[in-house]
Chains A and B, each alone.
Chain A
Amino acid sequence: MGILTDRDRAAVTDELAKLVGPVKLVVFGAQLGDGAEYSAETERLVREVAECSDQVAVEAYNLHIDREKAAAYGIDRVPAVVVEGARDYGIRFFGIPAGYEFSNLIDGMQVAASGEPKLSPETLERVRGLTNPVHVQVFTTPT
């Protein structure tokens, strides 16, 4: 049995029909140790989402085996999902993106596909001046 219900799939299909370009979901997991519990479920969820759109591709890696990939994406814990569009914009999910975070996963896919953030002109102007790395971590809970 899948994670997404038929109703979920229909809603996701509708949302992903709005994708204006390809999206790649890069999933990192582990079979043993920290994060193993939710790794398989995260990959299953991501694959079910990808089945809802021809624009979405999935790559899955093991944190402990595919170390170079993990390092390249800056992934040091799992489960993790990278949402890539034309390039890796820096959109990450740590932990299964379910519950409240599921809508953020879909939104992240849409903005990665378009490459056009929905932000005010003032915000865009302000962040244009950045010249150093900014790491924003938002802690959430699924319910």
Chain B
Amino acid sequence: MRLAHHLAVASEWVRGDCVDATEFPDLAQQYSVRAVPRTVVNDRVAFDGAYPEAQFVDQVLQAVNGSGGGDA
């Protein structure tokens, strides 16, 4: 979660939401949350687990660049 918020501060284009999956089961179902943390970027790319910074940014940029191959 920390990375998403720091990226939000780094770029005016980024918004970082921390979503409690238990309080919002509809969203958790919509984004197939079965384990946490699960990160969804622009509804295009999704990944499970806590990624190191460089890989996290890879995923974020992949979603933006339109080559998202995730299963969000």
Set of chain A residues within 8 Å of B33, measured between Cβ atoms: 139
| Contact present for B5 and A126 (CB under 8 Å) | no
CB distance from B18 to the nearest CB of A (A): 5
From B20, B28, B41, A101 is in contact (CB under 8 Å) with B20
Q: Which residue of the partner chain B has the closest CB to A77?
A: B24
Tell me if A31 is interfacial: C-beta within 8 Å of chain B.
no
Within 8 A of B (CB), among A77-99: 77, 79, 83, 85, 89-97
Inter-chain residue pair count (beta carbon < 8 A) = 164
Indicate whether A123 sits within 8 Å of B53 (C-beta atoms), given known contacts A130-B11, A135-B42, A142-B20.
Answer: yes
A residues within 8 Å of B by Cβ?
35, 38, 74, 77, 79, 83, 85, 89-97, 101, 104, 107-108, 111-112, 115-120, 122-124, 126-128, 130-142
**Residues in B lying within 8 Å of A, measured CB to CB:** 1-24, 27-28, 31, 33, 36-43, 53-54, 57, 60-61, 63-64
